[in-house]
Amino acid sequence: MTQAINNSKKERSITIFITGGSSGIGYQAVLKLISLGHNIILPCKNILRANEVLTNIVNQLPFELSKKGSIYTPIMDLSDLKSIDSLCFELKKKRLNIDILILNAGLQYTGSKTPRRSTQGIELTFAVNHLSHFYLTQKLLPFINNNSYSKIIITSSEVHNPMSSGGKVGAKASLGNLSGLSSGTGFDMIDGDKFNADKAYKDSKLCNILFAKELSNRLKKLGSLISVIAWAPGLVISKDSQGFFRYSRKYNQLGQVLFAFLARDLLRITTSNEKAGMLLCDLVFSCKHNRYDFNYYSNKIISPGKFIFEETQISEEAQIEGLSNQLWGLSKSLISNII
C-alpha cells in the first residue's frame, strides 16, 4: 500500500525505513520527516492499521506544504519472522533502496504473570524488541545505501543499565550467561530464570545495546560507511490511550494511571512523544552523529521538566568483552532453528 504525498521538491530526499512508526515517538518523527520532503517506508501489522495511519498522516499534515515526501505502508508483523521474509521479498521486487533504517518498535506488557509468545513460540518481548529487529536488519542490509549519511538507529532505553534511575526500580536488567537463549525456543527469560515481564523488557533493551554495538563492529570490519546509533528517549508517557504503555495498561490500568500522574504531572520526569520524535529526527540528520564507531545517546533529566540529550556510557554488563558477539551468535542460531 502506498500513499504518495506530493514529493515535488527538486532537492534530494532520503528514504527512511522505520518500525514502530504508527504511534508514539515514531509517528511524531514520521510526520516531521514527511513534511521535510523525505520518503518513508512504514510497515504496519495489518491493513486496517495501515489505512488508519495513512488517514491520520494525511489529516495532520498542513495542506499548504509544498514539499511532502511519500509514504509506503507495507504489511509486516514483527511477532512473525515469516512476515519479515514476505516484506523483504516485496522490497526486493520493488528495488527499493534505504538511506536510514530506524528500529524503533518496542513492546512491554509489565504486569502480566505469564509470558506471551510470538508466532514462532518465542517470548514476545524478546521476539519483537530484539530478535525480529536482528533478523530484519540482516535482511535489509543489502538494500541500505553505503554512504557517509546512511545510518541504522536503534531505540533502546536507560533501563538497560541497573545504575540508571529507571533501571534501579524493580528487577534489574541482566542476561546472566544467556542460558535461556542457549536452550532453544521454549525459554521464558534470556538468563533462564522465572518469567518477569518487567525484567524481560529491560533485558530486551540491553539486547538492543549489545546488538547495536556488535553490528557497528561488524560493519566497520567490512569497511562500511553506515553509522550505528543506539539511543534512549527518556520516559515518555502520552496523555492518550496510545503510545508505549498501551500494552501494559491492559494488565494494570489503575497502576498505570497513578504512575503516569506521579511521573508526568507531579514530578515532571517524563518527556512527550513530540519532543522525543524531534530527537529522533535530529539523529537522522545531524552530521555530528555520522561516526563509524558505536555510539549511544540518552535523553537525561536534569531537573523537573528539563532534559539534556548527550552521549552516554552503556551499562557495565553491556561493556563485557565478547557478550555482544555471543548474543549475536545465539540469536542467529535460534532463528536458523525456527524458520
Query: In angstroms, what CA-CA distances link 291 with 242, 277, 295?
Result: 34, 21, 8
- Residue 110 in grid coordinates: 509489565
Gap between the Cα atoms of 107 and 77, Å rounded? 13
- Residue 206 in grid coordinates: 540491553
81 neighbors 120 (Cβ within 8 angstroms): yes
197 neighbors 112 (Cβ within 8 angstroms): yes
pTM for the whole structure: 0.90
- Contacts for 248 with CB less than 8 Å, ≥ 6 apart: 108, 109, 110, 111, 256
- Contacts for 297 with CB less than 8 Å, ≥ 6 apart: 229, 230, 231, 232, 283, 289, 309, 310, 311, 312
DSSP 263: I
φ/ψ of 263, rounded to 5, equals: -75, -45
Question: Taking the CB of residue 288, how many other CB atoms lie within 10 A of it?
Answer: 9
In what helix (H) or strand (E) does residue 100 lie, and over which residues does it extend?
Answer: strand 100-103
Question: Taking the CB of residue 94, how many other CB atoms lie within 10 A of it?
Answer: 13
What is the model's pLDDT at position 307?
A: 81
**Interval 161-200: pLDDT, tens:** 999 988 999 999 999 999 999 998 899 999 999 999 999 9
Handedness of CA 57, 63, 67, 70 (dihedral sign): positive
Each residue's pLDDT expressed in tens, for the chain with a length of 339 residues: 444 444 443 457 899 999 999 999 999 999 999 999 999 999 999 999 999 999 999 899 877 666 788 999 999 999 999 999 999 999 999 999 999 999 999 999 988 999 999 999 999 999 999 999 999 999 999 999 998 889 999 999 999 999 998 899 999 999 999 999 999 889 999 999 999 999 999 999 999 999 999 999 999 999 999 999 999 998 887 666 555 454 544 555 655 666 565 666 555 657 899 999 999 999 998 866 666 778 999 999 878 778 899 999 999 999 999 999 999 999 999 999 998
Residue 258 class from Cβ within 10 Å (0-12 exposed, 13-18 middle, 19+ buried)? exposed
Gap between the Cα atoms of 51 and 332, Å rounded? 34
For the structural domain made of 2-234+273-338, what CATH number should be given? 3.40.50.720
**Interval 101-132: pLDDT, tens:** 999 999 999 889 999 999 999 999 999 999 99
What is the model's pLDDT at position 265?
A: 59
φ/ψ of 305, rounded to 5, equals: 80, 0
